[in-house]
Amino acid sequence: MKELKLIELESVGSVIDPKEKIVYPLFENGALDLGAGVDLYEVTDEWFEALSEYDLNLLIEYGLYEILK
């Protein structure tokens, strides 16, 4: 079984797999919803606009922000 390296994006209640560029929602209890992953290229504008400055900087640090431009 492969190990996932995930980055938590608290402001949008999600985590992202930086290698696969898949965003997974988190349940209220903090559990990961692996069945509802969305490709980073397909996130809504509302999701992107709701990112905090801290979470946006995480995406920049991992080189994920530039691919969205």
Per-residue pLDDT of the chain (69 residues; tens, 9 = 90+): 566 689 999 999 999 999 999 999 999 888 888 889 999 999 988 998 999 999 999 999 988 877 665
Q: Taking the domains of the chain in order of start, what are their residue ranges?
A: 7-68
Sequence-distant (≥ 6) Cβ neighbours of residue 2 within 8 angstroms:
none
- Structure pTM? 0.84
Sequence-distant (≥ 6) Cβ neighbours of residue 63 within 8 angstroms:
18
Contact present, 41 and 21 (Cβ < 8 Å): yes
Contact present, 43 and 33 (Cβ < 8 Å): no
